[in-house]
Amino acid sequence: MIIHNQQTMTFTLHTRSTTYQMKADGYQTLLHTYYGPRIRDCDMSCLIPYADMGFSPNPHAAGNRRDYSLDFLPQEYSTCGVGDFRLPSLELELPGGSHTASLRFAGWEIRKGKYTLPGLPAFYGTAEEADTLVLTLEDAAAGVAVELYYGVFEEFDLITRAVRVINQGSGNVVLCRCASLCLDFPHANLDFVTFHGRHTLERCPERAPLRHGVQAAGSTRGASSHQQNPFVILCEPDATEDAGLCYGAMLLYSGNFEAAAERSQYESGRLVMGIHPYHFRWTLAPGEDFTAPEAALVCSPNGLGQMSRQFHRAILDHLRRDPFQHKRKPVLVNNWEATYFDFTAEKLVNIAKEASSLGVELFVMDDGWFGVRDDDNSGLGDWQVNEKKLPGGLGALVPQINRLGMSFGIWVEPEMVNEDSALYRQHPDWALRVPGREPARGRNQLVLDFSRQEVRDHIYSQLKAVLSSAPVTYVKWDMNRSLTDVWSAALPAGRQGEVYHRFVLGVYDLLERIRQDYPHILIEGCCGGGGRFDGGMLYYTPQIWCSDNTDAIDRLRIQYGTSFCYPVCAMGAHVSAVPNEQNGRVTPLETRGVVAMSGAFGYEMDLGKCTEEEREIIRGQIETYKARCNLLHYGDYYRLSDPFQPGPFTAWEQVSRDKREALVSLVTGCASTGNVFPPLRLKGLDPALQYRVNGGGLYGGDVLMNAGYLLPPMRGDYQSVQLYLQAEE
């Protein structure tokens, strides 16, 4: 709900549990007045303190008022050069060389339905599901207008933000910084939570008090990265899973980003989030405009868990565009760890036969099927089937897979090229590389210049021929290196600062073309595992390979951190062989299955090497997943313990939205003598209902949540248990 009060010039955005407000004051400065638990309609600017502060300059329009300074006023979209020395949202280079921008409120519009962003991912919603507010700010001297977009999803406590900058002047304007989100807080007694990591250990939560000055998470790798994630949290110091005020902010962007938080000299807080200013310079000729990516906010008055569940529901219903929307996805097997590059059509069919006999429904052929590709040193860019490995191409292979009752998927890495490839020999200028310098390599490959339309068209023509040659229902889209040597032969020197962003737009463009032409295909995103796990990719690839690390114990941490923003069904999670490829750990097959079920479930191992006992366990896992998939993927998710803290086990729970079903999963750590587990307290149940646990005892929801459930004894390292709860009248 959006309310505009003409008398006070306030704009109030109400969701089910929260209120967000801004106000155009008497000097036409757009002030941020409130964001928090839902309150009645009133002008919250009464809480803004005004004082004469030393070294905080006053705008000319304020005359002799020394108590009015942009240096301490809470603003909706900050600029630079006019007296606010905190984090700027917008930095312009004007024709005369100045970097000063002064924005004043100039107009507003309220619309039914959710706005869209051309060429960029965004949450979507009908007139019944969402509302849009557009506020216009202008810098008359610079000839620049800024449109601030707000989308309000009342049911999910979700507010989205986006920005459009228009050059209305007669000369070129250069954007040096254009953030998507600025959020000011009246106090800075907050914790800043970021999600750091590395390849094979992504999205580890890190929480620290917001300190004086600026602290930031970000990426300059050309992708959102394994190292940091474009999702952050600001919360009260005593906020827990179940209590305390929390603000989650997600940037729907898959390239260089920055999320910077500042504690000011006056003990206020500010969060600015958007495209990273590193190597970003975007030129706007007269009449041109630039749209910044969307950011999404959820405020939870009731702890981190509620914040996560609101994000999960919104992403499921209004961001992902999934051919299996609210349906069960097929259980898959991927041949990578079974064969690597060494396979033939016969070997693949034999793996599929074994998998089919166990209940697997989708066979995915990984790297090595195209060009001259017997290792990772050649072939990328040549997307034609290698008929020495696969005689007759996909047209011969896929029907054999389909006759086993399985659908077929394929691996691609369209953004990359090997120097040892026909494509590179024909078009060396199609790779990103700086003239006069030898390029850095990653995985012995270079990056194609996806900012160029002709490059994307060529790659798409090859992919289309492959995807049209057989009934392909799944594509794994990989990206196995960061961007270096970022320079495009298609742009002049003065516009090289546009390449990083144009690259991301190019990736989105090609993904959208595939989605439009092949709407039945499920695309799984991947970037060396979880190096591009962000809201932007989820708009095009409704599930993402969570990590190249498939070790069940490491995955407890990876999937825990991922769950703070992203829903379970978006996390690609497979059972792989032991000792684990990444760390050599040996875990029980049962435990590997329990962990992988809290994701898009599949196997990445040679099932033909399993014993008959293991085959029976796998059959049971697949039957359980099929029976419980709706609960696992679309139920409300509760974190029952923190795997980063010392403890005897890690536990989590999924509860159906009507609270009549729940599934509790638990994995122990290393065994120790005399280890007695305390009763496990559950969450999210209906206290008035009675629940039968695993077909046995009957317990009240209030008992299970307040007193707990006594866990069975378990011996050995890394054991697991699942508790299925079903309500009875």
pLDDT of residue 519: 97
Domain ranges of the chain: 2-318, 332-559+572-618, 649-728
Q: Give tens-digit pLDDT for 1-24.
A: 999 999 999 999 999 999 999 999
Whether the predicted pLDDT of 673 surpasses 90: no
- pLDDT score, position 294: 98
The band of 617, judged by pLDDT with boundaries at 50, 70 and 90, is: very high
Contact yes or no for 218/206 (Cβ under 8 A): no
Q: Tell whether the model's pLDDT for residue 691 goes beyond 90.
A: yes
- How confident is the model over 646-662, as a mean pLDDT? 96
Is this prediction's pTM over 0.85? Answer: yes
pLDDT (tens digit per residue) in 491-529: 999 999 999 999 999 999 999 999 999 999 999 999 999
547 pLDDT above the threshold of 90: yes
Q: Which CATH superfamily is domain 332-559+572-618 in?
A: Aldolase class I (3.20.20.70)
Distance between CA 87 and CA 347 in Å, rounded?
A: 57
Class of domain 649-728: mainly beta
- Band the pLDDT of 677: cuts 50, 70, 90: confident
Fold of the domain spanning 2-318: Beta-galactosidase; Chain A, domain 5 (2.70.98)
The DSSP call for residue 709 is: B
* Active-site residue list: 534, 614
Q: Please state, as a whole number, how many other Cβ atoms lie within 10 Å of the Cβ of residue 583.
A: 13
Inter-residue contact 231 to 271 (CB < 8 Å): no
Tell me what pLDDT residue 470 has: 98
pLDDT digits (tens, 9 = 90+) for 126-177: 999 999 999 999 999 999 999 999 999 999 999 999 999 999 999 999 999 9
Task: Tell me: pLDDT of 624 over 90.
Answer: yes
- Chain-centre distance for alpha carbon 624: 28
- Sorting pLDDT into bands at 50, 70 and 90, what band is 86? very high
Provide the mean pLDDT of the chain: 96
Q: Is 157 left (phi over 0), alpha (psi -120 to 50) or beta?
A: left
Residue 93 φ/ψ region, left for φ over 0, alpha for ψ in the -120 to 50 degree band, beta for the rest = beta
Taking 80 as the threshold, does the pLDDT of residue 69 lie above it? yes
Amino acid at 315: I
Share above pLDDT 70 across residues of the chain, in percent, rounded to a whole number: 100
Residues shown for the chain: 729
Report the percentage of the chain scoring pLDDT > 90.
97
Mean local confidence (pLDDT), 622-640: 96
Alpha-carbon Rg for the chain, nearest whole angstrom, is 27
pLDDT grade for 302, boundaries at 50, 70 and 90: very high
pLDDT at 148 (0 to 100): 98
Give pLDDT, residue 170: 94
The pLDDT, as a whole number, for residue 672 is 80
Q: What is the per-residue pLDDT across 394-408, written as a single tens digit (0 to 9) for each?
A: 999 999 999 999 999
HSE (side-chain half, CA atoms, 13 Å) at 423? 28
Quote the CA–CA distance of 488 and 477 in Å, as a whole number: 23
Q: Determine which helix (DSSP H) or strand (DSSP E) holds 209, and give its type and residue range.
A: strand 201-209
Q: What pLDDT score was predicted for residue 568?
A: 95
Interval 566-606: pLDDT, tens: 999 999 999 999 999 999 999 999 999 999 999 999 999 99
pLDDT exceeds cutoff 70 at 674: no
Would you state the structure tokens that stand for residue 612, as one six-digit string? 């008959």
pLDDT of residue 675: 72
Per-residue pLDDT tens digits for 433-463: 999 999 999 999 999 999 999 999 999 999 9
Let me know if 233 is exposed, middle or buried by CB neighbors in 10 A (0-12, 13-18, 19+). Answer: buried
